[in-house]
Structure formats: structure tokens, C-alpha cells
Amino acid sequence: MASIIVDISDLKVSSNPEDTLVTYSLGSCLGATFYDPVQQIGGMIHCMLPLSKIDTAKAEKNPAMFVDTGIPKLLKTMFDLGCRKKDIIVRVAGTARVLDHKGLFKIGERNYTVFRRILWKNEMMIAAEDVGGNISRTLRLEIASGRLTVKSGGIEREL
């Protein structure tokens, strides 16, 4: 089984049943997976910030940095590969309050809010989530089965 790393401000899509998409260190960042069990295609994204308007040049160069540009790009990529919206299973993790213990910036909360707004506009629902808190997480999506695990605090569980 090949692990494909999804870095910070990155997205990956795979249809290879041998692949596992993995992202590490989801703190205030948003990690989302989209899986089509009919096509056996999975996608994962690791977004840092909610809105691209703070730096449109960066968003154009790297849309996965921002929730509002990365999620549409990931969905378009999957649709271009034959996935249908009605078949896609959406799961999300991260958006913790790390390095912001006083809640001044609320980046994690804002990432999650923008994500939910995009899904709502696309008439998509979240099937499972592990969000908030103050711990970082690791996500693993197995393309063959669609199995998604989240690891935090040394404990791994299926999401």
C-alpha cells in the first residue's frame, strides 16, 4: 500500500486502490476527505486559512491554502474524474484551537464555518467529523475501501 502525503496547503485525489491519502498535523487547519464509493475515488485537502481574499495572489498560485478556493478545486477535480455529488461521502477533521488559547483569531472555527457554507451551497452534508478541541490530528483515507481513520493523542479510530 502506497501512502500519498497531503501536505499543508495541499490536495490530492486518487483512484488507485493501493493508495492511502495521509495528512499530518491538523491543528487549526481543516482536513477534509471526499470519497465516491461508486467510482472508488478519494480526495483529501489540508487548508490553512478560511478566506482567500487576504491574499488573492497566493490563492491563485495555491488554492488549497484556503478553504474557499481549495474545496471547490478538489470537488471540480473529482467531478472531472466522473464522481457524482450524490455519491460523495464528506468527512472533516481538525479546526482545533491551538496556539490561540484566548480565542482571538478563531482560525479553526472560521475554517469550519466556511467549509460548512460551501457544502450547504452545494447541497452536500457532512457524514462524520472530528473537529474542534485543542489537539492536532492525523487523517488516513484508504482508497480501496473508503475507510478513514483519525489519530489524535496517540489513539486512532475510524471516522
Domain that residue 53 falls in:
2-158
Select from 131, 135, 67 the least CA-distant residue to 101: 135
Helices (H), 56-101: 56-61, 67-80
CATH assignment at residue 25: 3.30.1330.200
Residue 116 phi/psi, 5-degree rounding, is -65, -35
- What does the pLDDT look like over 132-158, one tens digit per residue? 998 999 999 999 999 999 999 899 999
Residue 4 phi/psi, 5-degree rounding, is -110, 120
Number of compact structural domains in the chain: 1
- What does the pLDDT look like over 25-53, one tens digit per residue? 999 999 999 999 999 999 999 999 999 99
| pTM for the model | 0.95
